[in-house]
């Protein structure tokens, strides 16, 4: 097992427990301001997740794990009510914040199960949530090692959205692979797409890599095809918000189009995510709920009424046949399918 203190490029922790509450790096304000918010209620946490103060499936899952501690505190304070009912009601509130990131539901469902055997739910849930955070960071480090092992010398990569430390407990999934590959001197060029409409690539991925002194080149989303046509990209490396049991994945909108382009141009596609991102009950992408956010996020303010509208899906689905490898902390799955995914359970 790799010790985190031995790593280069490992400086960012977006989710932590502080005093009696949750502390979140407000990612809406990056890169211009580095602001932390103290979250002391399940209502505030639910709103923070909805508003994208915290984002990225693993980070949302970690926030939800600590949210279970807040839920226990609130349920115990209501001495006249049944603890279990009050606890589950508050977990339901957190669960309703966003529909696609499966880590959210995996964390909350685990909290519902483990709390049943706890005599001191607040203290024991805090220990459990802290372990969930530590395990996520270690999983990302392992993902980075496995993923970097797929690269040759002078590899040129394109990453989409932000699947870095900001989207996880630390180190990152897709950016964990890039961090590990950079440390091994395997990379020739790193491209980051802008990732409209929230510009997570331009705002967050660039900020992350700059913090760690890793050179990166921003591209407009629409220029990826041209770079592939010119033979300037070897790998596309992305994270995931849900992985199905047949290897289909949901990730930031635009991932599917990049995978189609990659197939045409002979570019490989790597999906990097911990096993907490796997929906063990979803046999295929038909079971994935795609979040639709408000049209106001992409529609200019001067357009009002019903004549001009906008569609704003947050995620799209990339089928397994377009994915070269899925990398988890357990290893590399080449050409993922149902049989290979099922082997992770064993």
129 three-state secondary structure: helix
Helix, strand, coil abundance in the chain, percent, nearest 5: 45, 15, 40
Residue 82 has a CB neighbour count (10 Å cut-off) of: 11
Nearest alpha carbon to residue 61 among 107, 117, 96: 107
Structure tokens at 11: 């400086």
Q: How far apart are CA 342 and CA 339, in angstroms?
A: 5
325 three-state secondary structure: strand
DSSP states along 267-321: -EEEEE--GGGB-TT--SGGGPPPPB--GGGTS-TT--SSSS----BSEEEE-GG
Residue 122 has a CB neighbour count (10 Å cut-off) of: 17
> Given CA atoms 336, 208, 312, 43 in this order, what sign does their dihedral have?
positive
Active site residues: 241
What element of type H or E holds 177? helix 174-183
């Amino acid at each position: 097992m790799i010790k985190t203190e031995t790593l280069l490029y490992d400086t960012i922790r977006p989710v932590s427990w502080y005093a009696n509450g949750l502390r979140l790096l407000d990612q809406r304000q990056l890169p211009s301001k580095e602001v932390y918010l103290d979250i002391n209620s399940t209502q505030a946490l639910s709103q923070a997740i909805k508003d994208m103060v915290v984002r990225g499936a693993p980070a949302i899952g970690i926030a939800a794990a600590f949210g279970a501690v807040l839920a226990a505190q609130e349920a115990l304070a209501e001495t006249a009510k049944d603890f279990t009912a009050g606890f589950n009601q508050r977990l339901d509130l957190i669960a309703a914040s966003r529909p696609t990131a499966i880590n959210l539901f995996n964390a909350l469902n685990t909290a519902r199960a483990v709390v049943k055997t706890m005599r001191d739910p607040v203290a024991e849930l805090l220990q459990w949530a802290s372990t969930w955070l530590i395990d996520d960071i270690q999983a990302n480090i392992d993902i980075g090692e496995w993923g970097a092992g797929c690269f040759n010398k002078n590899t040129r990569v394109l990453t989409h959205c932000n699947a870095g430390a900001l989207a996880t407990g630390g180190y990152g999934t897709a950016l964990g692979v890039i961090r590990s590959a950079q440390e091994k001197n395997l990379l020739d060029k790193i491209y980051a797409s802008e990732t409209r409409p929230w510009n997570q690539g331009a705002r967050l991925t660039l900020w992350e890599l700059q913090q760690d002194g890793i050179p990166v080149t921003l591209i407009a989303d629409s220029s990826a095809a041209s770079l592939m046509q010119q033979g300037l990209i070897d790998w596309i490396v992305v994270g995931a918000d849900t992985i199905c049991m047949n290897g289909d994945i949901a990730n930031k909108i635009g991932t599917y189009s990049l995978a189609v382009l990659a197939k045409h141009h002979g570019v490989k596609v790597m999906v990097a995510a911990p096993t907490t991102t796997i929906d063990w009950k979803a046999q295929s992408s038909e079971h994935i709920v795609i979040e639709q956010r408000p049209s106001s996020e992409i529609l200019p303010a001067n357009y009002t009424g019903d004549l001009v509208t906008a569609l704003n899906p947050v995620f799209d689905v990339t089928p397994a046949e377009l994915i070269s490898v899925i990398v988890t902390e357990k290893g590399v799955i080449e050409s993922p399918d149902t049989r290979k995914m099922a082997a992770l359970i064993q």
